């Protein structure tokens, strides 16, 4: 049974306000600046754009648009971004603003994940080692367009992204990096785009889990499945069934934990499930 603390509701409402972008302003050197919260996404479209860059990373534009994911753990401050292609290189800035997504108190039943043993923690460490290889994999060409397909059918509203979880009175080491979707038990879990299954196995905290590499640095994740119907290394198509909704791993009941990691940034998956036009956009300010 799950109990949501009152302050979680209050902070959740504040988070929604923080997700509304502030007006684009002009910074020194005529560089546009847009404010955004950790765990969100910013886009920048311009005629002829083919490449995008952010910090030390660069990647190909997706259908003439650059997308800049901001990791949930990104610290407040400015990030310089750029686009280029048929015209001169252009720069802008993302001003990352602090945001509190709130807190949830979760009461776990008597399961191993509530009080992990030393062997359980060793198993989890092995899971982290496998995932570290997934995060370091080379970025291939994009096999997707936006918006992505639905991860579960019937689809519900995702919740709890970014919240701090308190399990049986103990604060979790990190915030909730994905969104929870409540659908009927056994609902089919679907690939949101074409790609390669880079990991499909039973994990300690995630339960039955599937990770898919869609190219362009995008990896989608599906946790707590009751069963897995794909294998590591398998190529899948958009809408293909990966498994069924369940309650394996650290879960209080049947649901889908769905998350995305794009260019190594953990963001709210809702941005990739909605029309791209709804994503806050940089408007270039000409000198």
* 129 and 14 in a common domain: no
Domain membership flag for residue 104: no
Domain membership flag for residue 103: no
Contacts of residue 202, Cβ cutoff 8 Å, sequence gap at least 6: 208, 209, 228, 248
* 91 and 192 in a common domain: no
* 151 and 58 in a common domain: no
The Cα angle at residue 91 between residues 88 and 94, in degrees rounded to 5: 160
* 265 and 184 in a common domain: yes
pLDDT average, residue stretch 237-260: 97
What is the model's pLDDT at position 283?
A: 75
CA atoms within 13 A on the CB side of 32: 17
At 52-104, the pLDDT tens digits run: 999 999 999 999 999 999 999 999 999 999 999 988 999 999 999 999 999 99
* 268 and 128 in a common domain: yes
What is the model's pLDDT at position 29?
A: 52
* 123 and 75 in a common domain: no
Residue showing tokens 């769905």: 258
At 199-231, the pLDDT tens digits run: 999 999 999 999 999 999 999 999 999 999 999
CATH code, domain with 62: 2.60.40
**CA dist 118 to 42, 112, 113, 167, 205, Å?**
42, 11, 12, 18, 14
CATH code, domain with 140: 2.70.70.10
Q: Which of 206, 38, 41 is nearest to 134 (CA)?
A: 206
* 197 and 142 in a common domain: yes
Q: How many domains does the chain have?
A: 2
| Boundary of a domain, candidates 64, 98, 132 | 98
* 223 and 118 in a common domain: yes
> Domain range spanning residue 216?
114-159+178-273
């Amino acid at each position: 049974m799950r109990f949501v603390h009152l302050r979680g509701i209050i902070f959740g409402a504040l988070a929604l306000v923080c997700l509304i972008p502030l007006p684009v302003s002009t910074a020194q050197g005529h560089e546009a600046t847009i404010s955004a919260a950790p765990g969100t996404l910013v886009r920048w479209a311009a005629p002829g754009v083919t490449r995008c860059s952010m910090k030390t990373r660069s990647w190909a534009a997706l259908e003439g648009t650059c997308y800049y994911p901001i990791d949930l753990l990104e610290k407040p401050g400015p990030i310089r971004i750029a686009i280029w292609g048929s015209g001169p290189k252009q720069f802008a800035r993302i001003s990352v603003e602090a945001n509190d997504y709130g807190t949830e108190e979760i009461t776990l039943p008597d399961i191993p994940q509530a009080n992990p043993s030393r062997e359980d923690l060793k198993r989890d460490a092995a899971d982290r080692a496998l995932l570290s290889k997934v995060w370091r994999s080379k970025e291939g060409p994009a096999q997707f367009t936006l918006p992505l397909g639905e991860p579960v059918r019937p689809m519900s509203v995702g919740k709890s992204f970014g919240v701090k979880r308190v399990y049986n009175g103990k604060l979790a080491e990190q915030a909730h990096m994905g969104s929870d979707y409540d659908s009927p038990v056994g609902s089919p879990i679907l690939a949101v785009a074409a790609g390669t299954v880079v990991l499909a196995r039973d994990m300690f905290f995630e339960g039955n889990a599937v990770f898919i590499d869609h190219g362009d640095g995008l990896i989608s994740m599906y946790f707590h499945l009751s069963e897995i119907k794909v294998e590591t290394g398998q190529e899948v198509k958009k809408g293909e069934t990966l498994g069924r909704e369940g309650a394996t791993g650290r879960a209080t009941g049947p649901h889908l934990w769905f998350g995305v990691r794009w260019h190594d940034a953990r963001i709210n998956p809702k941005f990739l499930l909605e029309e791209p036009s709804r994503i806050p956009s940089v408007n270039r300010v000409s000198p």
